[in-house]
Amino acid sequence: MRVASISKLVVAIGVMSLVEQRTLDLDLDVSAYVGVSIRNPAFPERKITLRQLLVHTSSLRDGENYRLQLGTTLKAELADATHWDTAHGPGGYFAYANFNSVVIATVMEAATGERFDRLMRRLVLTPLKIEGCYNWATCEPSWISRAAVLYRTGPDETEWHPDGPW
């Protein structure tokens, strides 16, 4: 399962596998893969590449969400101004953003026609004998039983409350 930023390393291995297969190109405009223009509105002439997404120089930011909620499209999420650094264009300024991984996964799916979790299992997890998954529905029951719980405070454990119980 996603293990915070460690998962990004595993995704990078999957990306590089597809680069080796010539399915992906690190320096191609990612818009070409997904059929949606992915541009920082303050720098519309500058493309965004997988290389930039992988090294956090894409000018994307996490904004309110860094996940695509069920029923939300990448295009709609990218229209949210909070996802863009309008002071720094793509390619030169490092700023860590989890949302880069959302775009990378979408590019991987578009380029292969394969669902991200299944693609990662085929490309990385199974060959490296990693007992893990990117979707609870495809996890082995024995793996689920060993999963760690992410704890939050609050009455329903969905919000952070500094004075709440663990």
Residues 6+ apart with CB under 8 A from 81: 41, 63
Residue 45 C-alpha from the chain's centroid: 23
Residue 17: name the closest of 131, 147, 91, 108 by CA: 108
Tokens of 151: 């704890």
Cβ pair 142, 132 in contact under 8 A = no
Number of H helices, E strands in the chain: 7, 0
Packing angle, helices 99-112 and 6-20, rounded to 10: 30
Cβ pair 102, 86 in contact under 8 A = no
Distance of alpha carbon 100 from alpha carbon 78, whole angstroms: 11
**Threshold 0.75, pTM exceeds:** yes
pLDDT at residue 29, rounded to an integer = 98
- Render each residue's pLDDT in the chain as its tens digit; 166 residues: 555 678 899 999 999 999 999 999 999 999 999 999 999 999 999 999 999 999 999 999 997 767 777 788 889 989 999 999 999 999 989 999 999 999 999 999 999 999 999 999 999 999 999 888 888 888 888 877 877 766 555 555 566 666 655 5
Helical H segments across the chain, by residue range: 6-20, 31-34, 50-54, 74-78, 99-112, 116-120, 141-145
